[in-house]
Structure 1
Amino acid sequence: MPADRPIRIAVQIQPQHAPYEKIRDVAAELEDAGVDVLFNWDHFYPLYGEKDGLHFESWTMLAALAEQTTRVEIGALVNCNSYRGADLQADMARTIDHISAKGGTGRFIFGTGSGWFERDYDEYGYEFGTVGSRLDDLGEALPRIEERWARLNPAPTRKIPVLIGGGGEKKTLRLVAKHADIWHSFSDAQTLERKLGILAKHAEDVGRDVSEVEISTEIGKRTLAEVEEQVALGATLFTIGMTGPEYDMSGVAEWLSWRDGKNAGR
């Protein structure tokens, strides 16, 4: 990784089991606390807990967060490519980029993936297909999204960072090598090391410097020592997941302090 790339802390505010007013207040509190990125996720139903519990849609929430916030970057971890046409996704991303700019450059991260939660597809009438077909669809969408960004008026305020989530070694990591500014996975250190080698080979094959890709992973229930192992491998973006109704923020301050100490030493 580039020596000057800072450690960053993100929080995924999972949009489930809580009223929107609570989500809005938590986002404000997290921005005030100093987190670098706020993510949600792109689903239509809770992923755990009460299966028909409270839940909100991703993109409309991101537009509201773009207007509400002033400093943090925002995005989905991750958008589902299957739910919206490629050109529409590009236009939505560009619009949120402008909403978030506040007279400067935008703060939107285009996090995307091929989709996996079958209930979303069944309930909303999308074709579920197969893992392979959904990845192929994502591979076809990404160039169209990039081409649409180049034609929109007004143009995005910056090169919108593309985050691709997933760890598939044959298709996903090749898409990361071709298109992503950030790669997100749930890998432990041993798995991450192996997959980084595969990503580097894909990057070589497509003529790209793999160091251009920021490495992102989850803090989850990992210990500090386990997170430090990932830092040693080049990971710099770490996400804390939070679910409603309470959104427990008790550990955020400690991770922000750790981030600041790491960055001060760089």
Structure 2
Amino acid sequence: MRLETPVRIGVQVQPQHAEYSAIRDTVLRLEDLGADIVFNWDHFFPLYGERDGLHFEAWTMLGAWAEQTERIEFGTLVNCNSYRNADLQADMARTIDHISAKNGGEGRFVFGTGAGWFERDYDEYGYEFGTPGTRIKALAGALPRIRERWAKLNPAPTREIPIMIGGKGEQKTLRIVAEHADIWHSFVQPDEIAHKVDVIRRWADEVGRDVSSLTISNELGRDRDDDRAEALYAAGTRLFTVGISGPGYDLEPVKHWLAWRDAKNALAASAA
């Protein structure tokens, strides 16, 4: 939780209610605008709006993003652990990492993952929904396998692929964060962050991991709530995500937050 870490802006291009050409063009525009990370989500149907509206699958899309972009990091906010074997997830992530490496550099893939929650996905695609407890247990079991597979693959990933985990449950989820995450997507209000970070630190002490460099992430929402953004920043958040949906993919909120990012980083640099 290094407070000197620069502010970054991630944009979730929700893969719903739009043709893929609009999604592709939006990702390219976001890279040109200077966004730091672009995300999709790992669902099979729209989460809001027309129930059976246009929608596309996440991981196939990530391969295209890896090839079409040059600078921007990318990933899923977040992958559903339930839908794919852990070793397969590792191999997919490694492959996309290599696709995204340009001119001999490192890959740009961020492995955002979670336990899953959208029951319709499970029911219609034939996965066992289980309970929150069983899904979180499965995630806890998958992450060591993913790391082990990364160590075995030939070629290995181009870098230590950053792992992003979302959630706030103190007994299970935050332990997983403490053990495995490089980025914690917090889903909490600004005044809750300090307590949750303390819980993560206590779990980290128990599992023997240093989390001093953990990045705290949170959502900005659709409104330009600068007061909330400032409160999140003061609480230690450094990765801020904003979601945009098809068909229009309005980038005006993104432009606002990119300007806010630049101002915060310039102020921090001048004070250093």
- TM-score, L = length of structure 2: 0.96
Q: Which residue of 2 aligns with 1:183?
A: 184
2:235 aligned with 1:248, yes or no? no
Asked whether the equivalents of residues 224 and 253 of structure 2 are also in contact (C-alpha less than 8 Å), the reply is no
Structure 2 gap ranges (5+): none
2:263 aligned with 1:261, yes or no? yes
Report percent identity of matched pairs. 65
Q: Which residue of 1 aligns with 2:46?
A: 46
Q: How many residues align?
A: 266
Q: Which residue of 1 aligns with 2:65?
A: 65
For 2:143 and 2:162, how far apart are their aligned partners in 1? 12
For 1:105 and 1:161, how far apart are their aligned partners in 2? 12
Query: Does 135-144 or 207-216 show the bigger shift?
Result: 207-216
The alignment partner of 2:51 has SS state of coil
Q: Which residue of 2 aligns with 1:163?
A: 164
Per-residue CA distance 1:197-246 (angstroms, 9 max, x = gap): 21121112222233221000000036111111111111100001001110
Q: Which residue of 1 aligns with 2:142?
A: 141
For 1:76 and 1:243, how far apart are their aligned partners in 2? 15
The correspondence of residues 1-266 of structure 1 with structure 2, limited to 5 A, is 1-102=1-102, 103-220=104-221, 221=223, 223-266=225-268
What amino acid is aligned across from residue 20 of structure 2 in structure 1?
Answer: Y
Calculate the aligned-residue CA RMSD, in Å.
1.0
- TM-score, L = length of structure 1: 0.98
Structure 1 gap ranges (5+): none
For 1:84 and 1:190, how far apart are their aligned partners in 2? 36
For 2:3 and 2:122, how far apart are their aligned partners in 1? 42
What amino acid is aligned across from residue 246 of structure 1 in structure 2?
Answer: G
For 2:4 and 2:200, how far apart are their aligned partners in 1? 21
Asked whether the equivalents of residues 2 and 214 of structure 2 are also in contact (C-alpha less than 8 Å), the reply is no
The alignment partner of 2:252 has SS state of coil
